[in-house]
Amino acid sequence: METTISVNLKIWRQRGPKEKGQFATYHLDNVSTGSSFLEMLDMLNQQLVEKGEEPVVFDSDCREGICGMCSLYINGHPHGPVQGITTCQLHMRKFNDGDTITIEPWRSAAFPVIRDLMVNRNAFDQIQQAGGYVSFNCGGAPDANATPISKEVADVAMDSATCIGCGACVAACKNGSAMLFVSAKVSQFALLPQGQVERKRRARAMVKKMDELGFGNCTNTGACAAECPKNIPLSNIARLNREFVKAKCAE
């Protein structure tokens, strides 16, 4: 059955990208264990607003774990202590009465803080713009069943395509590497027949853009896959490395 708990919150507050931030502490009573983590923050914000203080700024939208908008580094883990979910899917029943919860933004050079817990992830869009697509114009596609694709291949491509672009992989990585994110998209297209024509160009262009934007190198630590809310496997990075080497050799 659901009950209520009290929690202490240690939250990173920062006015802007160039300003100095610091932790602020808050105490919150009567949090239903059936509430989501973000509903708990809504409660805090409601109380702050009642006191005339500015609410803690954080990103969230769909609140069902698919849009990738929410972030938050909770007690040292991107998207909190539970594996395989986003922050918005985390529920307060995972915490105990009296717990102190530390909440920080994604920390990465490539994701500057906008305010408090909200960061700028435009770099991810830029990487996708560099080549994360099949180049064709609407209207020219052949019949959808013209090219059979084995169920196994389609399923693996789907697993890669599941990436929600939240940036937890970058936040989890000690090097701030975006390899898991990039490899998921490169893998999806490398696996499918529609992606073959531009396979090499795509791997080169996306890796080049990733390097330009200040993401770190991959040292195969695996924190990204361990923290990924969608359980994108590390094998994607191995595939990206192969794709990239093959593409470079073909140059």
Partner 1 sequence: MADLKSVEGMIDSTPIMKDYADIESSKLPEYQIDSKVPEGPLAEKWTNYKAHQKLVNPANKRNLDVIVVGTGLAGASAASTLAELGFNVSNFCIQDSPRRAHSIAAQGGINAAKDYQNDGDSVYRLFYDTVKGGDFRSREANVYRLAEVSNNIIDQCVQQGVPFAREYGGLLANRSFGGAQVSRTFYAKGQTGQQLLLGAYASLNRQIQKGQVKSYNRREMLDLVIIDGRARGIIVRNLVTGELERYAAHAVVLATGGYGRTFFLSTNAMGCNGSAAIQAFKKGAYLSNLAFTQIHPTCIPVHGEDQSKLTLMSESLRNDGRIWVPKKKEDAEAIRAGKKKPTDIPDEDRDFYLERRYPAFGNLCPRDIASRAAKERCDAGYGVGTGNAVYLDFKYAIQRLGADVVRDRYGNLFDMYQMISDDNPYETPMMIFPASHYTMGGIWVDYELQTSIKGLFAIGECNFSDHGANRLGASALMQGLADGYFVLPYTMQNYLSDQIKVPHFSTDTPEFDKAQKDVEDRIAKLMAIKGTKSPDEIHKRLGHVMWNLVGMGRTLQSLVQAIDELEDVRKEFYNDLRIVGSANDLNTELEKALRLEDFLVMAKMMAIDALHRNESCGAHFREEYQTADGEAKRDDENYMYVSCWKYTGDNEKPVLLKEPLKYEAIQVQTRNYKS
Enumerate the β-bridge partners of residue 8: 27, 100
Distances in Å between the alpha carbon of 84 and those of 8, 10, 88, 180?
A: 25, 24, 12, 15
In whole angstroms, the minimum distance from the beta carbon of 216 to partner 1 comes to: 21
| Cα separation values, 89 from 66, 73, 158, 162, Å | 10, 14, 21, 16
Choice from 13, 21, 67, 75 touching partner 1 (CB under 8 A): 67
229 binds partner 1 (CB under 8 A): no
The strands making up 73-74's β-sheet, listed across from edge to edge, are 22-32, 4-13, 100-104, 73-74, 77-78
In terms of CB distance, is 54 or 97 closer to partner 1?
54
Closest contact distance (angstroms) between CB of 237 and partner 1 is 19
Taking only Cα atoms into account, the Rg of the chain, rounded to an integer number of angstroms, comes to 20
What whole-number distance in Å separates Cα of residue 86 and Cα of residue 78?
8
Whether residue 134 contacts residue 194, with contact meaning beta carbons closer than 8 Å, is answered with yes
Q: Which single residue is written with the structure tokens 């990206």?
A: 240
Judged by CB under 8 A, the chain residues 148 through 187 that form the site for partner 1 are 148-151, 154-155, 157-158, 161-162, 164-165
Q: Which listed range, 100-108, 190-198, 217-225, 240-248, lies at the site for partner 1 (CB under 8 A)?
A: 190-198
- In which element (H, E) is residue 78 found? strand 77-78
Q: Which letter does DSSP use for residue 36 in this model? A: B
Residue choice 14, 60, 108, 177 for contact with partner 1 (CB under 8 A): 60
Q: Which is nearer to partner 1, 35 or 177 (CB)?
A: 35
Q: Please give the residues from 89 up to 118 whose contact with partner 1 meets the rule CB under 8 A.
A: 89, 91, 93, 114-115, 118
Q: How far is the CB of 71 from partner 1 (least distance, A)?
A: 10
* Residue closer to partner 1, measured from CB, 50 or 251: 50
* Closer to partner 1 by Cβ: residue 102 or 128: 128
Residue 194 beta carbon to partner 1: minimum distance, rounded to whole angstroms? 5
Place of tokens 């602020």: 24
* Positions 115 through 144 that interact with partner 1 (CB under 8 A): 115, 118, 120-122, 124-125, 128-130, 132-144
Question: How near is the Cβ of 51 to partner 1 at its closest, in Å?
Answer: 9
- 202 belongs to the binding site for partner 1 (CB under 8 A): no
Q: Does residue 65 interact with partner 1 by CB under 8 A?
A: yes
Compute the distance between CA of residue 48 and CA of residue 60 in angstroms, rounded to an integer. 18
Tokens of 12: 């990173």
Q: Name the minimum Å distance from CB 95 to partner 1.
A: 14
Query: Does the protein bind partner 1 through residue 28 (CB under 8 A)?
Result: no
Collect all residues with Cβ–Cβ distance below 8 Å to 143 and sequence separation of at least 6: none
